[in-house]
Amino acid sequence: MSTSTPLEPDTFAITADLAQPRLPAWAVLLDVVLAAGVAGLLTLLLGWSPYAGLVLAIVLAALGMPLWSLLVEGRRAAADRLATSVVWASFGVVLVPLVWLIWLVVKNGIGVINSEFLSYDMRNVIGEGGGIYHALWGTILITLAAAIISIPIGLFTAIYLVEYGRGSRLARVTTFLVDVMTGIPSIVAGLFALSLFVLIFGPAIRIGFGGAVALSLLMIPTVVRSSEEMLRLVPSDLREASYALGIPKWRTIVKVVLPTALGGIITGIVLAVSRVIGETAPLLVVAGATDTVNFNLFNGRMTTLPVYIFQQYSQPGIVGPAGGDPPGYARAWGAALVLIAIVMVLNLVARIIGTYFAPKTERRR
Amino acid sequence: MSVTAPPQPPRAAKPVVRPGDRIFAGTARVAALTIMLALAGVFVFLALEGYPGLSAPERIYAPATDFWSYVGPLVFGTILAACVALVIAVPFSIGVALFISHYAPPRVAVPIAYVIDLLAAVPSVVYGLWGGLALAPATRPLIDWLYDNLSFIPFFAGPPSVTGRTMLTAGIVLAIMVVPITTAISREVFAQTPRLHEEAAMALGATRWEMIRLAVFPYARSGVISAVMLGLGRALGETMAVAMVLSATPVVTLNLISNSNPATIASNIASNYKEATPDKQAVLIATGLVLFAVTFVVNFAARWVISRGERNLTR
Amino acid sequence: MIRTSFRRAIVPGLAVLALALTGCGAGNSSDGSDGGDAGSSLSGSLAGGGASSQDSAQQAWRAAFQTENSGVTITYDPVGSGTGRENFISKAYSFAGSDSYLNDDEGELSSAKERCGGEDAIEVPGYVSPIAIVFNVPGVDSLNLDAKTVASIFDGKITTWDDPAIAALNDGADLPDTKISPVHRSDDSGTTQNFTDYLNKAGDGAWSYDADGVWPIKGGEAAEGTSGLVAAVKGGEGTIGYADESQAGGLGLVSVKVGEEFVAPSAEGAAKALAVSKPVEGRSDVDLAIDIDRTTTESGAYPVLLASYLIACQTYDDANEAALVKGFLSYIVSEAGQQASATQAGSAPLDAELSAKASKIVGAISAK
């Protein structure tokens, strides 16, 4: 930006540019209605399936607006319109499977959930009845233990990568290894944890804590990767301001860097917890399966909700004289719904914590 | 046009090393080393347990004959499934992330972000159930159409599956499992773009899309790549969902819509580990080692591509 | 200031959480512990695991046994036969469930002997399940097929439902010209093992592959687990597969040719087929391993079945462990136990003779 006063012709050019015609706000609405109309008509006339009609309507609407804009508003505005269409369309498309999935779980699960389902375990239950109490506790305890192991390790590793080890060989190798670690199949993590505990405690060991170790192996990379990115985005002005006041580096990290990045870090942690809370295979291998509630992570088998769901699905029992689905299916859907609800609450709590601790910034949302 | 400056590493002028600092730095370094140790542990475990699997008796590998012909289709299937998943998931994730961070009205954006985060928590068994029971039958008209109109493309060579339990379906399920992860991280990164950069771009007369291209994307580049990497990890390592959705058999084919599809390494371990004899278990663990190597190579390749891309970009 | 608002938010949250979780034991367990243990001297916990095919039956046995002996907790990890056998040998499990008997090809029989302190390991059949050949062809509820035709269908040699070979066995059936899509299990399973064994032995040369837990043919439709297979058969048209009879509800059933008649899958038929089969040769007295006679011509016998074994030791170091294994296994092979699994898991009860033999063997389990 030059500081000299603008000359007359420039001013004219700007006004000319600003004066370019713009489509009114209702143009978007008209575009959508027209696209839907055309697609609906074609679908009816040519006898297409409603899905094909819907796809056509979305494509027409997404392309119609930029074309119209190109004719009236010019190339740059058309590109902008196109981008907007694409972003909206992609959002709409993603929403379909998501809503479908959640609807399926809620529809099938809601009928099962009652106080008995939540407070009974499966001890001595055959056929109908029984509940998820043992699996609920198993999930809470094992996931909590996994979080307690992996959050400090993950967070400190991210701090090392961003604040201390920048450019060092250890940092580069660690970043790479963390990426490799994201690809460990969950069952391999389970087998590894099992052989580790068998090595220490003998072959008969099946404990909930083993499951937590396996899960943290899956959780750490997500925590590291997401917190690393968030720490990296903290403006260096903030750090420098803090150093300038003579504050030690570690206090700067604790008091300035971490709070600034807190929202993102919490998203990452919640994501990591969500990623592992639904794991089945490793837990079946290390933590075993039981019908009975067990509160001790370090002694005896523990069942978690996903293991419970898998068991109820694969061994649903036999259909009663009334017919219909085997009793296990309903329990599996109910447990899935409860699991999603747990994560929802967890998510909410994490977000509340996040907003209370995070400093006021100019960030959106 | 350089509107962004990546955050510079803090420059310590005259380091006064305080004990607090030393402890903190030490802890951070130990944490990084713990990760290396854990990974080394997994590697050693896989190598020790899997080594006998490389040369087990021939009948263990049936219907293949030796380890490499056994693992070959699995490696192919793993990469194919991950590619299909990422091709679908990445554009959509970025679209949705942008929608949440820059397009949707804030009052709508927060609940949407919330719902999408929630999807990361749906257990893979449930994704498997949904994919197998609801999605697979629903894809049948689509794959029939693809076969009728596009069968000259090897991906849609057919014959179309009658149950819809195809590689395409598995790819879609994986994509939907990947979307929440990539979206969540991308949107956090997009939202962190300094407001000043965005406003500067707007003040220069940029449209919203130009502002995003000039201010948001360059700033968010590395974060989005991380997000994609995490998604890739999930796609490569997913077990139960793929096992439950995919109709798997040891073949190598690009065909996405038939009933004969290569399994992925992880789903194959999950399917076969339970009933395996010790010899077979060693073979399966050896395939786990191969998956490890595949992840290694894929990450390496991705990194190389990214660093080349970055050199072309003046940052 | 931040602290206060945070606390204000978290305290009610914690209170709700605490309220929700104050009840310690599960609702039904605390009820159950009041009575029922009169006369029972057993207590403690017993860990077993293995074949997932037995899981439903194990649930039924466990429920009944634990109700009778309320101080006892039995766990059964459905980790699969292979892992079950391995964990039994490594002493991780006190007993194991396995879809195939111990085999000395990989030294399992001798390892099991070693694990049991040099004595032969006990092997008794506990869970017998008929495997139904199920199909989904609109308008057709049942078909008569012989093993050779079934083998040709699964081998891809017969490709449409109106094939003359099928029509010849089903006079007057209205068969469509739909393509046949055979569905097999994608996981390694005892069901596949027994089904391919049947095709191999009874298929009259139409099945050239050995019996194997992994489906031996490349290509074709595959599905994970019994539930997955049943869902896949239901989801497609013209599909055919094989699954435990108890899970085959709503699908068409194949009656297989035995001798001169066609037999529909049933628990009684499976029990009969097992009763006429011969024990494996060269086994010890406590080993009831059976080679199922797939080609039996016995009237009413249904030879497509899965027999799942219970594996244990004759003596245990720990007296309590021995008492628990003895008690639980005795219950399983008893008439009451077999009846429980028949009603709750759709299995075929052992016939009286086999049950008596098995009871005698597990009744002799003792502490060292």
ipTM of the complex: 0.77
Choose the closest CB to C59 out of A126, A319, A357: A126
What is residue A144's predicted lDDT score, i.e. its pLDDT?
92
Choose the closest CB to B260 out of C183, C219, C238: C219
Preferred mutation among B258, B259, B274, B275 to probe C, highest tally of C CBs within 10 A: B275
Report yes or no on A264 lying in a domain.
yes
Q: Do B244 and C232 touch (CB under 8 A)?
A: no
Query: C254: distance to nearest CA of chain A, Å?
Result: 20
Nearest residue of B to residue C220, measured between CA atoms: B260
Could you tell me where the DSSP H helices lie in C77-133?
Answer: 81-89, 108-115
Which residues on adjacent β-strands are paired with residue B58? none
- Chain A positions touching C32 (Cβ under 8 A) are 123-124
Q: Which residues of chain A have pLDDT under 70?
A: 1-20, 126-127, 320-324, 358-365
Preferred mutation among A199, A293, A307, A314 to probe C, highest tally of C CBs within 10 A: A314
What is residue C5's predicted lDDT score, i.e. its pLDDT?
46
pLDDT in tens, A264-302: 888 888 888 887 888 888 888 788 777 778 888 888 888
- CATH class assigned to C130-272: alpha beta
Same domain, A75 and A142: no
Same domain, A143 and A284: yes
Choose the closest CB to A229 out of B110, B189, B300: B189
Query: B17: distance to nearest CA of chain C, Å?
Result: 31
DSSP string of C227-286? HHHHHHHHHSSSEEEEEEGGG-TTSEEEEEEETTEEE---HHHHHHHHHTSEEPTT--TT
What is residue B12's predicted lDDT score, i.e. its pLDDT?
52
The pLDDT confidence band at residue B4, using thresholds 50, 70 and 90, is low
- Chain A positions touching C25 (Cβ under 8 A) are 293
Nearest residue of B to residue C81, measured between CA atoms: B275
User: What does pLDDT average to over chain B?
Assistant: 82
8-state DSSP, B212: I
DSSP string of A107-124? HHHTTT-SHHHHH---TT
Phi, psi of A190 (to 5 degrees): -65, -45
Q: How many domains are contained in chain A?
A: 2
Closest CA to B92 of B231, B246, B220, B208: B231
Q: Do C49 and A290 touch (CB under 8 A)?
A: no
What is residue B220's predicted lDDT score, i.e. its pLDDT?
84
Q: Do B249 and C218 touch (CB under 8 A)?
A: yes
8-state DSSP, C179: B
**What is the mean pLDDT of the segment spanning B162-173?**
88
Q: What's the token pair of residue C262?
A: 């066609």
Report yes or no on A131 lying in a domain.
yes
The residue assigned the tokens 């075993």 is A288
Kindly tell me if the per-residue pLDDT of B20 is higher than 70. Answer: yes
Coil, strand or helix: which one is A5?
Answer: coil
List, in order, residues 6 or more apart from C348 with CB less than 8 Å away: C128, C129, C130, C267, C268, C269, C270, C271, C274, C305, C342
Report yes or no on A66 lying in a domain.
yes
Is there a shared CATH topology between the C14-128+278-290+306-367 domain and the C130-272 domain? Answer: yes
**pTM, two decimal places:** 0.82
Q: What's the token pair of residue A37?
A: 């109309």
Report yes or no on A14 lying in a domain.
no
Asked if A329 is an interface residue toward chain B (Cβ–Cβ < 8 A), one would say no
Window 183-212 of A, Cβ < 8 Å to B: 183-189, 191-192, 195-196
Report yes or no on A10 lying in a domain.
no
Kindly tell me if the per-residue pLDDT of B19 is higher than 90. Answer: no
**What is the mean pLDDT of the segment spanning B190-218?**
85
Phi, psi of C254 (to 5 degrees): -90, 130
Contact B240, B270 (CB under 8 A): yes
Query: B73: distance to nearest CA of chain C, Å?
Result: 11
- CATH class assigned to C14-128+278-290+306-367: alpha beta
8-state DSSP, C138: T
Separation CA C143–CA B167 (nearest Å): 32
- Chain B positions touching C156 (Cβ under 8 A) are none
Contact C326, C346 (CB under 8 A): no
Same domain, A90 and A137: no
The residue assigned the tokens 């079945």 is C305
Q: Do C76 and A289 touch (CB under 8 A)?
A: yes
What is residue A215's predicted lDDT score, i.e. its pLDDT?
93
Q: Do B165 and C221 touch (CB under 8 A)?
A: yes
Separation CA C159–CA A264 (nearest Å): 57
> Domain end: A73, A104, A135, which one?
A104
Choose the closest CB to A356 out of C2, C45, C227: C2
Q: Which domains does chain B have, with CATH numbers?
A: 80-275 (1.10.3720.10)
- Chain B positions touching C187 (Cβ under 8 A) are 243, 271-272, 274-275
Choose the closest CB to B291 out of A104, A185, A274: A185
Contact A282, A187 (CB under 8 A): yes
Query: What are the respective helix, strand and coil percentages of chain A, to the nearest 5?
Result: 75, 0, 25
Q: What's the token pair of residue B213?
A: 């291209």
pLDDT in tens, A135-177: 888 999 999 999 999 999 999 999 999 888 877 888 888 888 8
Q: Do B247 and C232 touch (CB under 8 A)?
A: yes
What is residue B84's predicted lDDT score, i.e. its pLDDT?
92
> Domain end: A44, A76, A104, which one?
A104
Same domain, A153 and A100: no
Per-residue CA distances from A358 to A237, A355, C74, C177 (Å): 18, 5, 49, 68
Read off the CATH number of the domain in which A243 is found.
1.10.3720.10
Tell me what percent of the residues of chain B surpass a pLDDT of 90.
9
Choose the closest CB to A121 out of C29, C60, C93: C29
Same domain, A144 and A213: yes
Choose the closest CB to B120 out of A161, A167, A271: A271
Asked if B136 is an interface residue toward chain C (Cβ–Cβ < 8 A), one would say yes
> Domain end: A69, A104, A139, which one?
A104
CA B53 to chain centre: 27
Sign of the four-CA dihedral C73, C78, C79, C85: positive
Report yes or no on A258 lying in a domain.
yes
Among the ranges given (A3-17, A95-109, B251-265, B270-284), the one the predictor scored with the smallest mean pLDDT? A3-17
Which residues on adjacent β-strands are paired with residue A277? none
Q: What is the dihedral of CA B90, B92, B97, B102, to 10 degrees?
A: 130
Q: Containing domain of residue A253, as a range? A: 118-357
Same domain, A196 and A311: yes
What is residue C22's predicted lDDT score, i.e. its pLDDT?
45
Q: What is the dihedral of CA A230, A365, A242, B219, to 10 degrees?
A: 50
- Chain B positions touching A166 (Cβ under 8 A) are 9
Report yes or no on A48 lying in a domain.
yes
Report yes or no on A130 lying in a domain.
yes
The pLDDT confidence band at residue B272, using thresholds 50, 70 and 90, is confident
Same domain, A252 and A330: yes
Q: Do B95 and A250 touch (CB under 8 A)?
A: no
Q: Which pairs with CB-CB distance under 8 Å and at least 24 residues apart come from A64-67?
A: A64/A31, A64/A34, A64/A35, A65/A27, A65/A28, A65/A31
Query: B83: distance to nearest CA of chain C, Å?
Result: 22
DSSP string of C114-130? HHTTTSPPEEEEEEEEE
Residue C333 burial class via C-beta count within 10 angstroms: exposed 0-12, middle 13-18, buried 19 and up: buried
Q: What is the CA radius of gyration of chain A?
A: 28
What is residue C14's predicted lDDT score, i.e. its pLDDT?
47
Domain ranges of chain C: 14-128+278-290+306-367, 130-272
Q: Mean pLDDT of residues grouped by 10 in chain C (368 residues)?
A: 44 46 56 44 85 86 87 84 86 89 80 88 91 91 90 91 90 86 88 91 87 84 87 88 86 90 90 88 85 88 91 90 91 90 86 89 87
Q: Do A98 and B265 touch (CB under 8 A)?
A: no
